[in-house]
Chain A
Amino acid sequence: MRRRKGKKALRFIVELIGIVLGTIYVSPVLIVFINSLKPMKSILKEPVALPKELFLDNIKYVWEIMDYLNLLKNTVLISAAVVIVSILFSSMAGWMLARDGSRRSKVITVLFLSSMLVPFQSFMIPLAKLVSMIHISDTRWGYVWVICTLYAPMGVFVYQGFVKNVPLDLEDAARIDGASTLRVFFNVTFPLMKPITASLATLYSIWVWNEYLTALLMLKSESKKTITVAINSFFSIYYSRWDYAITSVAFSVIPITIVFLFMQKYVIEGVTAGAVKG
């Protein structure tokens, strides 16, 4: 009897430690959230205190100065395009490479996979030159094209793994009914890959939301900037104004946190499927 009680108490303590530990771990995010709602003096003097009253001046100011609505529009548009094109690129190529299984396909697969290892900085200088040479620098579609190319290898890898679970019989049946290869893929295979597509789409949208360096190198004009780039330049100007600076950080952190809370399952499945085994 006593032992069971002791076990129960231990369990309670472990659960309690869990709550404390988890809260401390995410506290930097909470700190951004609460401080964006406080005036400068309170941020500097009592950075961990909760806001005493609803103070929205920071949010209003940063929202207007950064032209947040326009940034949001840009970023959402770009993200949507990147997700669609990357999914198309990677699902089509991944399926064909897996089903074809020829030597040529194996070589192409290895080429795609090896690129995931290569640091972006090792080819960023020629890439920056190239995009301005072919006049796709400072265009949103050009940026989308480049980003999709850099993101798709991971998707190819994931789809190749997943295709092995899609029964060949279904594809064969459609083919015998006279469906073209494109139809077989889009009507039979692609719908069956929905779970992994959802995970990849979620991961891609998080990546592109957070993408900084390529956007910095390619999207030069103010009207085309994405949220991450805009916050970076805002922060370097308002470096000493912590009230505005921390609020600009909140503008990136809060939306992505909300997306994560809702899409957790997909994010985690995507990460598990995309874990490249060297």
Chain B
Amino acid sequence: MKTKNRKGIGHGINYWIFVGPFLLSFLLFYLLPVVVGLSYSLYDWNGISNAKVFVGLKNYVNLFTRDKDYWNSIGFTFKFAFFNVILSNVLSLLMALWVTQKLRTSRFLRMSFFLPNVLCGTIIGFLWIFIFNQLLPEVGKVLGMSFLTKRLLGSMSTAWIAVLIVSLWQGCGYNMIIYIAGLVSIDRTYYESAAIDGAGRIKTFFTITLPLLMPSITITLFNTIGGSFRMFDLNLTLTNGGPGKSTQGLALDVYLTAFSENRMGYGQAKGVILLILVCTIALLQTSFTRRREVQL
């Protein structure tokens, strides 16, 4: 409340000196394109010529009624998001539990788990092509393990698993950091009284740790759900949507439609759908997990 009457801080010109430069850039490079994007999606346009034909909602209608690839893309993205969100959260919570034990290797492990997160998504895609296509088959041959010689990236039924593995490898460390912050902020006395009551480790985890971690879970869910739908860099280089468009995430689909097929209007319609999808899911998720937090 005290901040409300800071006379002279937010007055007139000062306010705009501080907020103005960024606000103007923000309106120009973010809000304007988002709004203009809505109108682009109503045109048939190749992006190069000036021949923009107004088609109304036809792009959207075609998207949902005629475009089988788009449904494939939606299917892949939801499947990927589902497994990515669950596995990433389970794995990163396990990592966080491990590295918050008093071990000499904790620091090393924390660093190892987080390292992939600072690497570039497109570059990681290349790196894992090498691992999937060259390294694993070669190692499999030497060790006589035939399952390693099958190339995950080569088949329509398994390529999405490869995307999932690399995405987990890169993303878990980030969630781990958030879980660690949540774990260390839990008051020790809860555990002490649980120990006095004779609760075992597993019981303590489910009755104390997990409920008190709910705020962290809200954050990590929010991040992983959004991240799954926004996945682009990794998708672009690791599979480029293939084989046979089986791993074409929605974000990559927008890019390929616009800049490979030169269908700007159609691509933008896909972009608008992606925007609506991400925002709706995020709103639903936060209102759901928030309610869980309040109950405690």
Contacts and interface: CB of A to CB of B under 8 A. Distances in A.
B127 A32 contact: yes
Contact of B138 (A44, A231, A272): A44
A276 interface: yes
Contacts of B254: 121-122, 124-125
Given A29-B115, A48-B139, A123-B271, A21 B127 contact: no
A243 to B, nearest CB: 11
Interface in B29-53: 29-34, 36-37, 40, 47
A7 B35 CA distance: 63
Interface in B106-120: 106, 108-116, 118-120
Contact of A242 (B112, B134, B278): B134
Given A126-B40, A231-B123, A121 B255 contact: yes
Interface residues of B, number: 92
Contacts of A148: 25
Interface string B9-31: 11000110111011101101111
Contact of A126 (B111, B236, B268): B268
A100 B9 contact: yes
A173 interface: no
Contact of B268 (A97, A125, A145, A275): A125
A25 B112 contact: yes
A73 to B, nearest CB: 19
Contacts of A65: none
Contacts of A206: 118
A23 B112 contact: yes
B282 to A, nearest CB: 6
B3 A98 contact: yes
A213 B232 contact: yes
Interface residues of A, number: 93
A278 B139 contact: no
Interface string A256-278: 11011100100110011001111
Contact of A120 (B40, B110, B130, B230): B230
Contacts of A21: 109, 112
Interface string B92-122: 0000001001011110111111111011111
Q: Which of B33, B114, B169, B251 has the most CB of A within 10 A?
A: B33
A118 B215 contact: no
B219 A277 contact: yes
Interface in B66-85: none
Q: Which of B109, B110, B267 has the most CB of A within 10 A?
A: B109
B278 A119 contact: yes
Interface stretch (B154-162, B190-198, B221-229): B221-229
B278 A130 contact: no
A26 B237 CA distance: 20
A145 B24 CA distance: 11
Interface stretch (A51-59, A76-84, A192-200, A244-252): A244-252
Q: Which of B23, B130, B134 has the most CB of A within 10 A?
A: B130
Contacts of B115: 25-26, 29, 257, 260
14 contacts: A18-B103, A26-B116, A111-B26, A117-B279, A125-B267, A125-B268, A126-B32, A127-B29, A148-B25, A213-B255, A235-B237, A245-B130, A264-B111, A278-B222
